[in-house]
Structure 1
Amino acid sequence: DLTFMYSVTAPTGKYENGGSENLGLGFWTNQFQGFGYYYPVADKSSALMLGLTYEINGEIKDSDVKPGNRFTLEYGISQYLSERFELGIIGGHNWQISDDKGSDVFWDPSVRDRKSTLAFTAGYWVWKQRMQLTFKYGFDYGMRQRFKNDALMLNLTFVTNALTGANKKNNTP
């Protein structure tokens, strides 16, 4: 399977140059992503994933600083242990690939930031093929000029079948 995505991140959240309580980054980002999934067994109970992201960053609000663009490589493996229970491991590396630019750049722009991430997931279909609950724990390592993150995430995914034409009563086409 292949997926492609384009997304825009707007500079939302409180941001003030030099502020210590910033919640946003203060700049626009455009992202181009492509992911591939390979299933080594016919029933697709095992999956290998590889993803690429290219990030183009805009100028920071109220300053002459344009952060460098970034490239991300993500990879993962998942395995269903039953019809409803899935475990997975996800890794990724993010590299700044162009220099920070602008007259307000006071640091050495040739030192580019980077970080790596590792995450573990467990998912369970509470309502078979309609509602999944997924738990993820991830952490960063190998940072240079980046904050270290540890993350806990709980996702609830509901599949509506709105675009499939499936019968609501017995869930068949």
Structure 2
Amino acid sequence: MNFYFSFQKTFNNIRTALCILTFLIAIGIPDAQAVDYPLGSEGIKAASFPGPGFYYVLYNQLYSSDTMRDKNGDEQKIGFDVNSYAMAHRFVYVTNKKFFGADYGMNIIIPVVNVDLKIDAAGVDAESTGVGDITVEPLVLAWHRPRQDVTISLSMLVPTGEYDESDAASIGGDHYNITATAGTTLFFDSERLWSLSVLARYEKHFENRVLDLTYGDDVLVEWGFGRSVGLFDVGISGYAHWQITDDKGSDRTSDDLDRIYAAGPEIDMAIPQIKGQLRLKYYKEFGGKDTKEGDAFWLTLVKAF
């Protein structure tokens, strides 16, 4: 199922004190990875959306990184360490209405996030917990064919999370964004046992409401390849993120474009007794440029009503 939510996984600005900000620019710490979508939330069948009904999705993500990469992909020795835990509640309603032959749905995602950030070179040691930025997705169209699923959607990130430019571990991003999504899942047999799924997103960020800063646009791709075996789906999944336009504004701290890749194993288990599914996956990030590089664990529960 194509379920995702948005939250800031790291920091947005390091201190307000001019001396600290100047120091960060001097040693080359890039802007926080401004992608609002938490990469890797979907997995093996990323582009498959459910049929008519009401669904609740509980996401749990544990992310850890002690590596910051510069624009060339080299590690920066700055004593960087970030650990975050996110629990997000997603409420999905798919109507019985059809548009262009597709099921029409909508959803809202409410995340709760804890971020613990340290940067020894800048004297940063910060932690924050709170409700993050909420995602509202009023338009989802999903087609279901015997050997193919197709999904397109349009969503908005609303800056409801607490934001303090003096707090390096702020939960909120303090900006709106619009995200357009499209993807497909292909099944290689009539029983829909083998699948290959690709889901792409384009994020358009709007100006930060406090800082003179607008993050560049992002292209995000999730993919998965798997096999259904009884109650289980097993396979590998991964993601990629490319920043494709420059950050703008006098408060930007980098002119470089972010990039990151990740891949890892996934196992999903259907739970017929509760009309649900449990998903477990691990991602190892690699190939980072101008961003952090770490590990992510996901545990997701999907419940149909």
| 1:32 and 2:180 matched | yes
* Structure 2 stretches lacking a partner, 5+ long: 1-148
| 1:138 and 2:256 matched | no
- Distance across 1 between alignment mates of 2:233 and 2:251: 48
CA displacement at 1:15 relative to structure 2: 1.9
* TM-score normalized by the length of structure 2: 0.48
CA displacement at 1:113 relative to structure 2: 0.8
Q: What's the counterpart of residue 235 of structure 2?
A: 88
2:278 counterpart letter in structure 1: L
CA displacement at 1:106 relative to structure 2: 4.1
- Distance across 1 between alignment mates of 2:197 and 2:274: 20
- Distance across 1 between alignment mates of 2:153 and 2:265: 24
Change (3 A) 1:79 1:9: same
2:283 counterpart letter in structure 1: G
- Equivalent of residue 201 in structure 2, options 53, 62, 68: 53
SS in 1 for 2:293: coil
1:71 counterpart letter in structure 2: V
- Distance across 2 between alignment mates of 1:61 and 1:79: 45
Map 1:1-173 → 2, pairs under 5 A: 1-82=149-230, 84-107=231-254, 109=255, 111-127=256-272, 130-160=275-305
Runs of 4+ residues deviating >4 angstroms: none
**Cα displacement string for residues 8-41 of structure 1 (whole angstroms, at most 9, x for unaligned residues):** 1122323222522212222212111111011001
Change (3 A) 1:48 1:6: same
2:161 counterpart letter in structure 1: G
CA displacement at 1:146 relative to structure 2: 1.9
CA displacement at 1:124 relative to structure 2: 1.1
**More helix per residue:** 2
* TM-score normalized by the length of structure 1: 0.82
**More strand per residue:** 2
CA displacement at 1:129 relative to structure 2: 8.9
Q: Which moved more, 1:86-95 or 1:142-151?
A: 142-151
- Distance across 2 between alignment mates of 1:106 and 1:38: 42
Determine if contact 2:216/2:245 at 8 Å carries over to the other structure. yes
* Structure 1 stretches lacking a partner, 5+ long: 161-173
Count of matched residue pairs: 157
CA displacement at 1:153 relative to structure 2: 1.7
Bigger relative contact order (CA 8 A; separation at least 6): 2
